[in-house]
Amino acid sequence: MTSFWCERAWLPEGPAAAVRVAIEGGRIAAVTAGGPPQPGDVRLGGLVLPGLADAHSHAFHRALRGRTGGAGGTFWTWRERMYALAARLDPDAYLALARAIFAELALGGVTCVGEFHYLHHGPGGVPYADPNAMSEALVQAAADAGVRLTLLDTAYLAGGLGPDGPADLDDVQRRFSDGDADAWAARVAALPERPGLRIGAAVHSVRAVPREQLPAVAAFAAGRPLHVHLSEQRAENEACLAAYGCTPAALLDAAGLLGPGTTAVHAVHLTAADVARLGGSGTAVCACPTTEADLADGIGPFRELADAGCPLALGTDQHVTGDLFAEARGLEAGERLRSGERGRFAPAELLAALTEAGHAALGWPETGRLAPGARADLVAVALGSPRTAGARPEEVPAVVSAPDVTTVVVDGRVVVAEGRHALGDVGELLRRAIEPLWAEE
């Protein structure tokens, strides 16, 4: 039994002072507020939040940060750079890169990552000796960085969607594809779950999975988290309408892919009927505001989606920043810019998106709150930093940033202490992993 005594902690009903959290077997055993520390308690200053869940990550996109910003272009020209990077990764390079990125996320309070993983095979689409070698690199990286992982193994079967239907894969995209949904499912089924790891499923998008393949993906995903990029760009909607005569959300609905186990990522360009469809089915939505801004995607109708019944989660997606708190601020900022109103999401709603809703979307519904029975994920943030000094604890989720995180506990284990990750200098780990990937440019 380990116990933490928190100067303040965010309990299900809000911030409280002098909170003692007792942990046994990686779970919270008891929470008591208003008492003094006991002998042997580990003291945590500031405000202790539940662990954060990054519900949408593509780890390798982190290597593009600071390398695509100045040249103009669109989502589609950015994607060319991303494909050039993907072509250079093998399991060893991916392990080093993902380990550093997951450590960067942990430094910012993330205790669980949803990795939307589609870089499966070797050059030309030739499988590695272990067809799950790239997945195993991600699994090892998360274990090394001390975070839980939901590996959202992604079906990516077509090179795009034209008016006459799915397009052929190009050379880089061949690395993403298993050929068809049955072969994809057989490969994923060979990857065992283990402590700290859930195996989920993903449909890359309606651009990359032909309509007739969707039911097989849905069948395999039953009982697992299922994620899908949805209507990130207008061009996706136009292609779907031209090819199938319906919106992407309607296509997923018809194929049986919507529901409480499903998370739609982005959900930017939606009709009112799409919003009703997503909300009515209880489909979760993952907003990635810094990526949606960086790639000029647009601002989704997130308040309307929440009001319609969609739980909202947040993701760092292409890792424009490694700061999940920035995604929460971006969610509210986008809402204000689009609506002309303030306070569209209360700080407590932002925290729920960062924590409980994110973990639930990743298949860990027992996580994300400081309450008995929950996984023991604790994130202490400083209240006296240049960013947080003077703030009321109730409003901290709307002003805090990753550098304010001092301590991170995952399943009862301390991963970050005094602002330092157990792996050491994360900036140096990132530099050593990223620079070789660009050595020939």
Nearest residue by C-beta to Zn ion? 317
Q: Shortest distance, CB of residue 421 to Zn ion, whole angstroms?
A: 25
CB of 317 to Zn ion, least distance (A): 5
* Residue 119 and residue 89 in contact, taking contact as beta carbons nearer than 8 Å: yes
CA 50 vs CA 266, 267, 359: distances in Å: 24, 26, 11
Q: Which two tokens stand for residue 249?
A: 């959300």
Beta carbon of residue 266, minimum distance to Zn ion (angstroms, whole number): 7
- Catalytic annotation on 92? no
Q: At what angle do helices 324-339 and 347-354 cross, to 10 degrees?
A: 130
Please provide residue 10's backbone torsions phi and psi, each rounded to the nearest 5 degrees. Answer: -90, 100
268/379 with CB nearer Zn ion: 268
Q: How far is the CB of 56 from Zn ion (least distance, A)?
A: 6
Instruction: State the number of binding residues for Zn ion (CB under 5 A).
Output: 1
- Eight-class DSSP state of 6: E
Q: What is the largest CA-CA distance in the chain?
A: 71
Which 293-322 residues touch Zn ion, going by CB under 5 A? 317
Q: Which is nearer to Zn ion, 11 or 155 (CB)?
A: 155
- Taking the CB of residue 211, how many other CB atoms lie within 10 A of it? 18
User: Looking at 317, 377, 404, 411, which residue is catalytic?
Assistant: 317
Backbone phi, then psi, for 150, in 5-degree steps? -110, 110
Q: Per DSSP, which regions of 267-316 are E strands?
A: 284-287, 312-314
Give the nearer residue to Zn ion in terms of CB position, either 4 or 78.
78
Decide: helix, strand or coil at residue 353.
helix
What lies within 8 Å, CB to CB, of 186 at 6+ separation is none
For residue 67, what are its two tokens? 């390398």
Cα angle 100, 102, 108 (rounded to 5 degrees) comes to 110
Q: Are 109 and 49 in contact (CB under 8 A)?
A: yes
Fill in the per-residue mask, 315 to 354: x = in contact with Zn ion (CB under 5 A), - = not in contact.
--x-------------------------------------
Smaller CB distance to Zn ion: residue 6 or 64?
Answer: 64
Name the 3-class secondary structure at 318: coil
- Least distance between Zn ion and beta carbon 143 (Å): 23
Whichever of 317 and 335 has its CB closer to Zn ion, that residue is 317
- Judged by beta carbon, residue 115 or residue 356, the one nearer Zn ion is 115
Choice among 56, 266, 319, 421 that is catalytic? 266
Shortest distance (Å) from residue 184 CB to Zn ion: 18
Quick check: is 266 catalytic?
yes
Chain residues that interact with Zn ion, rule: CB under 5 A: 317
Catalytic sites, residue numbers: 266, 317
